[in-house]
Structure 1
Amino acid sequence: MARLNLLEETRFEKLPVTVYSEESVAAQKVAQHIAEIIRKKQAANEMAVLGLATGATPIQVYANLVKMHQEDGLSFKNVITFNLDEYYPMRPDAKQSYVTFMDEHLFSHIDIPKENIHIPDGTLPKDEIADYCLDYENKIGELGGLDLQILGIGRTGHIGFNEPGSAPNSGTRLVTLDDLTRRDAARDFGGKENVPTKAITMGVGTIFKAKEIILMAWSKKKASIIKKAVEGEMSGNVPATYLQLSDNVRFILDEDAASELTRFNTPWLVKDCVWDKPLIKKAVIWLSSEIQKPILKLTDEDYNNHGMAQLVTEVGSAYDINIDVFNQLQHSITGWPGGKPNADDSQRPERAEPAHKRSLIFSPHPDDDVISMGGTFIRLVDQGHDVHVAYQTSGNTAVWDTDVLRYVEFTIDFNKSINKDTAELEKVYDRMRDFFKIKQPNDVDLEEIRNVKAFIRKSEAYAGARYAGLEDSNIHFMALPFYETGKTVKNPVTDIDVEQTKALLQKIKPHQVFAAGDFDDPHGTHIVCFRIILEALTQLRKTEEWTKDCWLWMYRGAWDEFETHEIEMAVPLSPNEVHRKRNAIFQHQSQKDRPVFPGDDEREFWVRAEQRNRETAFNYHELGLANYEAMEAFVKWKFQDEK
């Protein structure tokens, strides 16, 4: 019976999928499997031939293998590796090369013979590439093929660098990279314009010859493409769907990457559910959107015809369910994000008391506050709350080099205008210009340059917060140490980051904390900053009484938005408030028009924010609620002792 239930749950899935609670658990399982292959081959006095991948996905797998080598004596002397791909052209000693990547994360830490390592050569003349690729395939064949090929998946659905349009029988070859792939790699190269347009990659047909294939994916960023690869029709538009043809493939996912698979996203379509309140809310909103009817017009027949007959059988009539979910949505809407004074707050998202709250907005970068919750920010100030904003990082990697020269030139001219000596400043300016002439993508800037970039972002943050109505005394610049590397890759978080955050919290003792909860930020800064806040509050909750009255609200907007069923506070914005929010964002001139790191969305930040806010309001209206101009959305974090 259990097997039949599993088949029912996975009937939408066209290949085997194993889901683990989190990336670290999944990566450990994959590493253990690789170790088993190596040891089995060692026992038989044979070579283990492994196909390896690069990118963020396999990093923890490699870390586990290194740990097994160092602590458990796992030897790699009988291992031969073939990497999937390499950018072209690419020097092997470049920071962005996969030779460098593999050395940093695996090869330099284990005892694999260097002659056993094979990575496509990004330095070849073009007319030699075809013969080289054929030789690469022949070497794999002469060794009896790959015992295991591990894969990641790109958001285009590429495996290796087999982009949309690749043939299922394609071999190792030179390819042209998809624009989305290059945008995703932009941060590693200091901008998309520096990302190579081509790469050498094993083909889909090469991958298929492996005796075993494991495709790994972590995080919600990969959820939509995983759904297409696992449940979609086979198509050259999503090369990973070709893996459905293989009898030797497994997908290993964490819960976030699996979250859009039918059995997790809409489980009522595949099995009987335990209908708790959040699942009912999600299902009813889904049904309303699916058949494009307002919630209050849904009927028992609608429920029965869309896999939700169990719900009306167990819980009650469609009428009662509709009213309950509609009321939940209605009660999430508030024009009083700090709570409405002297009002019944039993069905409001925020408390009525104290009437004037201390509100602390944490902004990972110097513009996330106004981009993501600028309307709410302004409203909190207008409604008389004691609002503070804390900029957690300097954001100094996201300023164009040309802006640095422009600001320094202005400073030189200003000093001259007041008869102030500029000799030393002009020397610094000359050093900057000389450095920019030889600067390579992602080189660490000179300290003076990093400082100027930080000053630019700081002055803009002041302007934005002042426009929202804050006094300078309520504007805090933290410059958390983990970020201040000058590199796109940041240092690990330390106790210093947490203690600095605790000190600010203790100083303000806020009733409300707002923090960026859009963990799909492609640069990872948002989730790091959120974890610092969470750790600081968790520690303080053990000893300080005021924290029991401190609520933590998560906002999104710069990169993503909460699903409607997740939203617990929706703050409607009038057309005038949308305009004021836009003006607050405009204070961040260095991020306008074309930011340094736009992610995969090339719209300006203010455009993204307005369109997302309007979409949230539209979604509420489509469900049968009032028609607002725009809405900013929030979800309340539940601490362990509140769950």
Structure 2
Amino acid sequence: SKKKAPIIKKAVEGEMSGEVPATYLQLSDHVEFVLDEAAASELTRFDTPWLVKDCSWEDNILKKKAVIWLADTIGKPVLKLTEEDYNNHGMAQLAVEQGPVYNINIDIFNQIQHTITGWPGGKPDADDSQRPERALPAKKRSIIFSPHPDDDVISMGGTFIRLVDQGHDVHVAYQTSGNTAVWDDDVLRYMEFAIDFTNSIGEDSGHLHKLYEEMRAFFPQKQPNQIDTREIRNVKGFIRKTEAISGARYAGLPDDHIHFMALPFYETGKTKKNAVGEEDILLTIELLQKVKPQQIFAAGDFADPNGTHLVCFNIILAALARLKGKEAWVDDCWLWMYRGAWHEFETYEIEMAVPLSPQEVIRKRNAIFKHQSQKDRPVFPGDDAREFWVRAEDRTRDTAQRYDRLGLAEYEAMEAFVRYRF
């Protein structure tokens, strides 16, 4: 997996060290590392192959990656790179085959520039030949799939708000309940509120109080990885549901455009989930048939600790595969992947970059803040100690700064997307 790539690079190419005992295997002539593509991605021959071998520069993605790498490595904007820069950094072959280098620089600069758009749903009445999204239809039906009830605003909150502001018919679909990612004491707080409210309107809260006492007795004796009771899981799910509604309303959605799928594969009450079942796919097909979107946004950030993002993405692909060839709207539907909660796309991968103003960054932050149970210290923070809203702002600011260093316009922040061609 991608998570293993840094330590694989150290083991295979790093200096020998007792801190990484595997580095001593480099002394042997009879060692073979068997890796998948993701784990090998940071090795020189895969990450920067032009440094160790001749490359096929007809591959535009490789060329774009190499020129961006060169600009970053020597700290120059793309349009200031020289033939000497190419020759001194393993890219002489590219300069000879496709030079002069200034023409290469202009080509790559233009490709990067054409990813930038303030119109994530397409700009009406504009030439879209150099834009990442189609101009028509001017008002699109868009659906944002969010694996957990906060991935939408964390990863693409600014674009979400922009799509609504620009008049598109936007839906959001929360694929799982997220009910394993709520602290136990939050359950008691909400139960206490429910009991007080029930009493305040003159109703009998006896049953609620009994459940509350059972919960209070359960939590101190709860063992690691022990499954919560059905009632506790329900309360945790309700907490995340109300937060998601609040966030989506803040982004401008009416309630009938907010969908809670509660896909069954997730509902184990444990960190480990069930395998995807037929019902997961059928529920997704049903929603897609209802909306018939021209645009789908889905989480392409597969580094989440429990693997839910990848499972949710594959469910969408399975649903689209069944619909393709049967329903005409699928042929006109584009699928955009977003990241943000755990990773960000590399600059050379980005196909649509949506710039955010300082005010839009604040609006996005406010949408994330609606998810109060994930604030301060989430249950599953992963290896990153930063809060989700801080991660989101740091990553989008970094993306904007990367574009700026390459010689593009300087923005406060940018949300990045890659199109998945299914």
Select 2:32's aligned residue among 250, 253, 259.
250
- Residues 157-306 of structure 1 correspond to what in structure 2 (within 5 A)? 219-246=1-28, 249-275=31-57, 276-306=59-89
Query: Aligned match of 1:381 in 125, 139, 164?
Result: 164
**TM-score scaled to structure 1, two decimals?**
0.65
Shift of 1:439: 0.4
What is the distance in 2 between the residues matched to 1:236 and 1:464?
A: 49
Amino acid at match of 1:620: Y
1:461 aligns with 2:247: no
Among residues 577, 588, 598, which one is paired with 2:360 in the alignment? 577
Secondary structure of residue in 2 paired with 1:332: coil
1:472 matches 2:255: yes
Q: Which amino acid is 1:241 matched to?
A: T
Residues 1:424 and 2:185 are matched in the alignment: no
Instruction: List aligned pairs for 1:361-376, cutoff 5 A.
Output: 361-376=144-159
* C-alpha distance in 1 between matches for 2:28 and 2:191: 59
| 1:24-103 matched pairs, under 5 angstroms | none
Find the counterpart in structure 1 of residue 181 from structure 2.
398
**CA-to-aligned-CA distance 1:190-235 (integer Å, 9 cap, x gap):** xxxxxxxxxxxxxxxxxxxxxxxxxxxxx11111111111100012
User: Secondary structure of 2:34's match?
Assistant: strand
Q: Which residue of 1 aligns with 2:322?
A: 539
Gaps of 5+ in 1: 1-218
Match of 2:376 in 1: 593
Task: Point out which structure has higher relative CO (alpha carbons under 8 A, 6+ apart).
Answer: 2
Residue 603 of structure 1 deviates from its aligned partner by: 0.5
Counterpart for residue 217 of structure 2: 434
Do residues 483 (structure 1) and 270 (structure 2) align? no
In 1, the alpha carbon distance for the partners of 2:182 and 2:357 equals 32
Identity %, equivalent residues: 76
- 1:473 offset after TM fit, Å? 0.5
Cα deviation code 1:221-255 (max 9, x no counterpart) = 11111111110001233333233345554322101
Deviation at 1:260, TM superposition (A): 0.9
User: Is the aligned partner of 1:629 residue 2:412?
Assistant: yes
Q: CA offsets, 1:304-331, max 9 Å, x none?
A: 1100010011112110000000000000
Look up the SS of the partner of 1:635 in the other structure: strand
List per-residue Cα deviations over 1:73-119 (Å, max 9, x = no partner).
Answer: xxxxxxxxxxxxxxxxxxxxxxxxxxxxxxxxxxxxxxxxxxxxxxx
SS of aligned partner of 1:594: coil
Q: TM-score, normalised by structure 2?
A: 0.98
1:162-196 deviations in whole A, cap 9, x for unaligned? xxxxxxxxxxxxxxxxxxxxxxxxxxxxxxxxxxx
CA distance in 1, matches of 2:77, 2:293: 39
Aligned residue identity for 1:256: A
Residues of 2 paired with 1:321 and 1:237: CA distance? 42
Provide the aligned length of Structure 1 versus Structure 2: 421
Q: Per the alignment, in what secondary structure is the counterpart of residue 252 of structure 1?
A: coil
User: Residue 132 of structure 2: which of 349, 354, 360 is its match?
Assistant: 349
- Secondary structure at the aligned position of 1:627 is classed as coil
Task: State the superposition RMSD in angstroms.
Answer: 0.9
SS at 1:273's partner residue?
coil
CA contact (8 A) 2:147 2:308 kept: yes
Name the SS of the counterpart of 1:398 in structure 2: coil
Q: SS of the counterpart of 1:307?
A: coil
Retained in 1: the 8 A contact 2:305–2:380? Answer: no
Structure 1: which amino acid aligns with 2:89? H
Matched residue, 1:556: 339
Residues 590-629 of structure 1: per-residue CA shift (max 9 Å, x gap):
0000000100001000000000000000000000101100
CA distance in 2, matches of 1:245, 1:425: 67
Q: Which runs of 5+ in 2 are unaligned?
A: none
Which amino acid is 1:435 matched to? F
User: Contact (CA 8 Å) 2:120, 2:354: kept in 1 or not?
Assistant: yes
